[in-house]
Amino acid sequence: MMRFTVFPRRGLRGRRWYFRIVASNGEPIAQSEGYRNKADCIYATGLIRRGAPYALVEVLDPKKEG
């Protein structure tokens, strides 16, 4: 089952919270931008979880762009 992991990281802009989407095999699929606080990070995971079933997939083909 796919899961979200939420974690802090200290960087040049101070401590930020991130989430990763992790596949059922344990491999990370995506990582978020940094959030200033944990609550905002967790809220963002909820938005993705609610919106994902209806999300469109847009495929951009660089060979066809002009």
In a domain, 38, yes or no: yes
Helices (H) and strands (E) in the chain, counts: 1, 3
In a domain, 39, yes or no: yes
- 53: helix, coil or strand? helix
pTM of the prediction?
0.79
Kindly report the CATH number assigned to the domain that includes residue 28.
3.30.160.160
In a domain, 15, yes or no: yes
Residues 5-51: pLDDT tens digits? Answer: 999 999 887 899 999 999 999 999 999 999 999 999 999 999 999 98
In a domain, 62, yes or no: no
Q: How many other β-carbons are positioned within 10 Å of the β-carbon of residue 26?
A: 7
Residue 21, domain extent: 3-54
Residue 64 scores a pLDDT above 90: no
In a domain, 10, yes or no: yes
The whole-number pLDDT of residue 22 equals 96
Look at the chain and report how many structural domains it folds into. Answer: 1
Contact 19, 9 (CB under 8 A): no
66 pLDDT band (50/70/90 cuts)?
low
